[in-house]
Structure 1
Amino acid sequence: MRNAMLAKVHIARKELALDEETYRAILKRITGQDSAKGLRDHQLDQVLTEFRRLGWKPAKAALPAPAARDPQSQMIRGLWIELGKAGQLVDRSEKALRAWIENQVGKSDLRFCDAAQKRQLIEQLKRWSARVGIDVG
């Protein structure tokens, strides 16, 4: 948490276009210290509160991209989940699925795969499932 707060202090400083002297004066006034490096969490919070008072608006966290919901993508996820339930995956997460997809077809997400690439992924997952004794029908 401390590192994230420290990063926010530096981002706010940059976005407020504070020169070195002004930045250090604010730190000194708020915390009694002229460097953010040694500040405790509550002091960093005080500095961030002051930056907000001065007009800094923290950026909102980016929402994750929506997952592909077409039938082929759902089938790929379903097969992936079945392999995970059968203990065939070290990591069953969406992130691991995306890494596998990139390794197989060179795309970073199902949203970027065309129908032929999705068919290829489905066939690979079906063959994998058959090898390990999972009946996918």
Structure 2
Amino acid sequence: MLRTLAVIGLLAALPATALAQTAASGPQQQAESGKPPQRIRSVTITGNQACPKSSDPDAEIVVCARVGEPYRIPKELRDDKPIAAQNQSWVNRTAVADEAGRRAGGLPDTCSPVGSGGQTGCGKLRAEQFAAERAEARRQAEIIP
């Protein structure tokens, strides 16, 4: 007897749940109300894990980030170009001016034809140029899909 009453009660409530589903709910309702969510949950996922769904879309927003992807901007749209000289910090500008002065003065490790210690920096200069070329080649290879 109790079981039949429970079934009748559930069948009577069925149209009410169908009506509730047709009304605006979830993020759409929250966006229209203009109220901020009560909770923002940040989840770090790995591999092919799926982003968990929010249990209550009106009260919680779930933001997922993959371990290997620290940026939300896609790789294709990231700006990896070298920073222009006028936009660099004064420390970098001073380092460039200092290196130019060292080369002009023929100081040691400068690879300059002037001065007694100028020849010692030629190997160092070639190694730095080689490393810069390899880094640029790697950067260009990453850009090309």
TM class, shorter-length: under 0.3
- TM-score normalised by the chain length of structure 1: 0.20
TM-score normalised per structure 2: 0.20
Q: Which has the larger radius of gyration?
A: 2
Q: Higher helix fraction: Structure 1 or Structure 2?
A: 1
Bigger strand share? 2
